[in-house]
């Protein structure tokens, strides 16, 4: 099993550009989520999904969009990048009922 994979590992964007961060898992987990990690603020939940076709907002959803068309994939879209979105982004998955979280390696995003 590859576990949770994320691409790209690093990305630099200019203000106003859009992009999609990819996340995939091969553990057949129902629940997937996106976090951002900023110094001094810990990890904060952006969006989450409890299954294909179902998504919901977390603490800091503004400026981000998600969809879940398959169990395996949960992409995060930045609609119009802003410097405040410079951060490290982590994707995670878990099986409902277990709630043990598995994290991907992260994407380091810089917006200039």
Partner 1 sequence: KQEVTQIPAALSVPEGENLVLNCSFTDSAIYNLQWFRQDPGKGLTSLLLIQSSQREQTSGRLNASLDKSSGRSTLYIAASQPGDSATYLCAVWTGTASKLTFGTGTRLQVTL
| DSSP-derived 3-state class of residue 85 | helix
Q: Give residues 9-48 in contact with partner 1 (rule: CB under 8 A).
A: 33, 35, 40-45, 48
Binding of partner 1 by 50 (CB under 8 A):
yes
| DSSP-derived 3-state class of residue 106 | coil
Complex with partner 1: residue 33 or 85, whichever CB lies closer: 33
CA distance 110 to 74: 21
Cα angle 61, 66, 70 (rounded to 5 degrees) comes to 150
CA distance 103 to 112: 27
Stretch of residues binding partner 1 (CB under 8 A), selected from 21-29, 64-72, 76-84, 99-107: 99-107
* Least separation in angstroms between CB 45 and partner 1: 5
**What residues make contact with partner 1 under the rule CB under 8 A?**
33, 35, 40-45, 48, 50, 58, 90, 92, 99-106
């Amino acid at each position: 099993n590859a576990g949770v994979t994320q691409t790209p590992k690093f990305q630099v964007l200019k203000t106003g550009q859009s992009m999609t961060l990819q996340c995939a898992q091969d553990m057949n987990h129902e629940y997937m989520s996106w976090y951002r990690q900023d110094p001094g603020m810990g990890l904060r939940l952006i969006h989450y999904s409890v299954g294909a076709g179902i998504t919901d907002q977390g603490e800091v959803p503004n400026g981000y969009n998600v969809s879940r068309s398959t169990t395996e994939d949960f992409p995060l879209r930045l609609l119009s990048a802003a410097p405040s979105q410079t951060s490290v982004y982590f994707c995670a998955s878990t099986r409902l009922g277990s709630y043990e979280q598995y994290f991907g390696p992260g994407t380091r995003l810089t917006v200039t």
